[in-house]
Amino acid sequence: MSAYIQLTTTIDTRAAAMRLARALVESRLAACVQIIGPITSIYRWKGNVEQAKEHLCIIKTRAALFRKVEAEIKRLHSYEVPEIIALPISKGSRRYLAWLASATSAAPPSRAGRSRRR
């Protein structure tokens, strides 16, 4: 099993996506959350085909944190059934994955080698 995962969720507004992203990163449950959108989603819900503008959140974290990230998404999300999909990160640059691990650990990351990374 991969030590790292990338989760996706969609959310109805940019403001809600920003709140979710900040909560996950500030609590060290995610190293990075990228927000894309608005996007158009077409889906079946309660027997009807629906269309909505949404924002896609791409969340990078450690696999061990999945349940906590899932709980935080459910807590902050307005949807009855939010999308919460996790895919393993099977490969990645050693430095990026080290940063991801550091950014999601209880200890603050070292100042050495700090640069903008996602």
Determine, yes or no, domain membership for 55: yes
Q: What is the pLDDT of residue 117?
A: 53
Determine, yes or no, domain membership for 26: yes
Q: What is the pLDDT of residue 113?
A: 45
Determine, yes or no, domain membership for 113: no
Residue 16, domain CATH: 3.30.70.120
Q: What is the pLDDT of residue 106?
A: 80
Sheet containing 48-62: give its strands across: 32-45, 48-62, 4-11, 85-88
Determine, yes or no, domain membership for 71: yes
Query: Which structural domain range is residue 91 located in?
Result: 4-103
Determine, yes or no, domain membership for 13: yes
Determine, yes or no, domain membership for 64: yes
Rounded Cα gap, residues 99 and 74, in angstroms: 26
Per-residue pLDDT reduced to its tens digit, 91-110: 999 999 999 999 999 865 45
Determine, yes or no, domain membership for 109: no
Stretches where the chain sits below pLDDT 50 are 109, 111-114
Beta bridge partners of 40: 53
Show the tokens assigned to 1.
Answer: 């099993």
Determine, yes or no, domain membership for 36: yes
- As for how many domains the chain has, the answer is 1
